[in-house]
Structure 1
Amino acid sequence: MSTAPQAAPDRSRWVVVALVAGLVVAAAVYAISGLVLGGDDARDAKAGDCLASDKQVEDEGTTRTGANLVDCSAEDARFTVVARVDGESSTQSDSCNKFFQEKEEFYVYANGDDRGYLLCLRPRA
C-alpha cells in the first residue's frame, strides 16, 4: 500500500500571517506609547489655535511642559498660536521675534521630534 506524500505547508500564507500580526503589534505599541508618553497634542496647531499647558509656564527661562490643543473658549486655554515655524526646535531661536512688537510678551513652544517645529505664542488675557 502506497501513501501519497503529505503536502508541504503553504509558506507564503504563513509569511503573510506573520507580516499582518507584526503590523498589528506595531500599531498597538505606537497607540499605547502615545497614551502613556503623552504624544504631542500640539503637533497640528496652526495660527489662530489655542493651547493649554500641562504645567504653569514661567515668565523667564525654560519650562519643560506639554501642550494641548484646546478650543479657544475653554477655561484652560492659556496661549494663542500666532505663528508656526517648521524645521526648528530650539526655544533660543529668533524665528518668532518677527511676529511680535518689541517688548511684547510672548512664548515659544518647541518640539524636537522628527524635523521639529516652533509655535510662537501670545498669552491669553
Structure 2
Amino acid sequence: MSNPVGPTPAPEGGNIPVSDPSAVTGMGDAPAAPKKKSKVGRIILAIVGMLILIVVAGVAKFMLRPDPTKDTKAGDCLASETAKDVKVGEEGVADMKPVDCKSKDAAFVVLGRVDGVTDINNPACEKFVKEGEQYLAYASQSGDGYLLCLKQKS
C-alpha cells in the first residue's frame, strides 16, 4: 500500500492538536509595547560613564608616567621647584628632574643611591654624608624602589 499524499484529515471533532497554543493565530496575548527610556536616565548614565573614563585615564596616566630619576647616580644634579622649600626634618613631595650640574636650575647633588629602599627615614643615606652633615632623602616607588641621598648644591 502506498502513502497518501495531501492534507491530513482532521481528527474527529474537527480540532487539530497543537503543542504550542500561542502559535495558532488569534490565541495568546499581544506583546507589550516597549517602555520608553527616560532622558534623565540616559543623561545620568552618560555622566557616570564619563566619570569612570576620567578616573581610569587618570590612573593610567599616573601608572604609566616615566620616572625621570630612574637612571640617576652619584654625582648627578637634580632640579625641583617643590623641594627647595623642604626644611630639615620635614617631609614633602618633590618632582625631581635631572639637569646639568652647571645649570642655574640645579638645586641638589646626588651623594648616593640605595636601590630597594623607599623609606626616607631609612638610615641608608648616612653612609654618604659626614657625621652631622644635613642631607635630603628622595624616595621613588619605581620598579623595586630606590632612595636618592641628596645635598643642596652650593
Pairwise same-fold verdict (TM > 0.5): yes
Which of residues 25, 37, 51 is equivalent to 2:78? Answer: 51
Q: Counterpart in 2 of 1:103?
A: 132
Does the aligned pair in 2 maintain the 1:49–1:72 contact within 8 Å?
A: yes
Q: CA deviation at 1:54?
A: 3.6
Q: Distance in 2 between matches of 1:57 and 1:95?
A: 23
Kindly indicate which of the two structures has a greater share of residues assigned to strand: 1
Q: Counterpart in 2 of 1:12?
A: none
Assess, with a 3 A threshold, how the Cα gap between structure 1 residues 50 and 82 changes in structure 2: closer, same or farther. Answer: same
Q: Distance in 2 between matches of 1:58 and 1:81?
A: 16
% identical aligned pairs: 38
Q: Distance in 1 between matches of 2:102 and 2:65?
A: 23
The amino acid across from 2:72 in the alignment is A
Q: Distance in 2 between matches of 1:88 and 1:45?
A: 15
CA RMSD of aligned residues (A): 2.0
Q: CA deviation at 1:38?
A: 5.3
In structure 1, stretches of 5+ residues that fail to align are 1-28
Does the aligned pair in 1 maintain the 2:79–2:96 contact within 8 Å?
A: yes
Q: Which residues in structure 2 correspond to 1:1-125 (within 5 Å)?
A: 33=61, 39-55=66-82, 56-59=84-87, 60-125=89-154
* Matched residues, number: 93
Choose 1 or 2 for highest CA Rg. 2
Partner of 2:113, secondary structure, is: strand
The amino acid across from 1:76 in the alignment is D
